[in-house]
Amino acid sequence: MREEPAPYDHDLQRLSEILGALHFLRGICTTNEGQKWRDEAQALIDAEAPGGDRHDQMVASFNRGYRGFQQSYHTCTPAAGLVIRRYLEEGAKIARDITARYAN
């Protein structure tokens, strides 16, 4: 049986991708956050999609975000810092929007 997608699945996948990018970029920019962004993504995935296609899509989005920057950045640069700031803003906006629209 195929799962019906939630109306906010696209947003969740984007948020997972952002968390993957942040996990990599914050790591090379020596923020000493360890696994913070990976743990945030894992909590999101566990809450929203503990299994099945949705789970796999969210994991793939996280990995895509991580690997996309892993291929481009080897050290922290001003551009990496800018991406971090933009992604923090975008991720916060997505989380607020989902909560405002769909929270009980």
Give per-residue pLDDT as tens, 25-67.
999 998 788 899 999 999 999 998 888 899 999 999 999 999 9
Residues of the domain holding 65: 9-102
The answer to whether position 1 is within a domain reads: no
- What's the domain count of the chain? 1
Tokens of 63: 């990995």
On whether the CB atoms of residues 57 and 51 are closer than 8 A, the answer is no
Query: Does 97 reside within a domain?
Result: yes
Decide if 95 is inside a domain.
Answer: yes
- Please state whether the predicted TM-score (pTM) of the whole model is above 0.85: yes
Please name the residues in contact with 8: beta carbons below 8 A apart, sequence gap of 6 or more: 98, 101, 102
2 domain-assigned? no
Let me know if residue 14 belongs to a domain: yes
Q: Is residue 76 part of a domain?
A: yes
Q: End-to-end CA distance of the chain, in Å?
A: 27
Which phi and psi (to 5°) does residue 29 adopt? -95, 20
